[in-house]
Homo-oligomer: A and B are copies of this chain.
Amino acid sequence: MANRRHGKGTLLIIGGAEDPDDNDLRILPHLVKLAGGKRARLLVCAVATEEPSDSLRNYRAVFQKIGVAEVLGVPFDDRTEGQDERVMAQLERATGVYLIGGDQLRITSVLAGTRFAERLRERFQAERLFVAGTSAGAAAMSSTMIIRGDGGTVNRGAVDLAPGLGYLEDSVIDTHFDRRGRIQRVMSAFAQNPGTLGIGIDGDTAIEVRPSGRLTVLGRGVVFIFDGRVTHSNVAQVKEDEPLALIDSKVHVLPEGYGFSLKTRRPIVPKGTRRSGD
């Protein structure tokens, strides 16, 4: 491990629906570029889905069409694969790992604590391995992930949370934000910890998170960022099914090209864009 460096790798967190059959691909070519372009060896993990073979076949085809050196696929039917020597060897060869969609609770229950998960985290942190996730694979990136939410009103009972893989700290990620109105579950989640950022990513839209803590939006839709540092909340005083009060949350709506600093918690406007009032 001569090339071990301090600092984390880059993340690409996709809001789902980055349709591999699409003729006008935006997100996946960028994923390939971040994984090393034509020299990329992509390890696609279908851990979140119960029928991984179709997904793996589709992604293999699209990545080969875009042009990579190798597509490695692991179905992750159960935890034994996370200890398997062949799979571990694939992880060592990979220049990028992609967690695809399905059920986020499968990701943590099948993957977390395995040799694979530990080595993946180590390679991300020490060797700056590129890691991407879509849909459930995106939700699992945050330290706390939403595993259920009915989109009802804003209360603690509206969401079930579980520990995520923790690749993006102090945040709750929700996906498919354009298809299903999910503001309620994001706000219910971050109400319980106002230090958390709520990040809602539209389908066919992604955030690239650099080790510096700067994220950039790409894709067709927008990214909502809810900054939960409210001036007033009643969360500690109400029962689980009682509606929450949250005052002075901030919300930013960011399309392609816009960014956000996770350090300063400020949006970044692309150069050349006029600010209102200028």
Contacts and interface: CB of A to CB of B under 8 A. Distances in A.
B182 A253 contact: no
Interface stretch (A36-44, A57-65, A239-247): A239-247
Given A183-B181, A267-B232, A255 B245 contact: yes
What is the oligomeric copy number? 2
Interface residues of A, number: 50
A267 B231 CA distance: 11
A262 to B, nearest CB: 16
A10 to B, nearest CB: 23
B244 A255 contact: yes
A234 B202 contact: no
A263 interface: no
A237 interface: yes
A205 B243 CA distance: 11
Contact of A252 (B237, B249, B254, B256): B249
Given A152-B178, A222-B245, A249-B250, 15 more contacts: A151-B181, A181-B184, A194-B276, A221-B243, A231-B275, A231-B276, A232-B267, A232-B269, A232-B275, A237-B273, A242-B255, A245-B254, A245-B269, A247-B269, A249-B253
3 nearest A-B residue pairs (beta carbon)? A181-B181, A243-B255, A153-B221
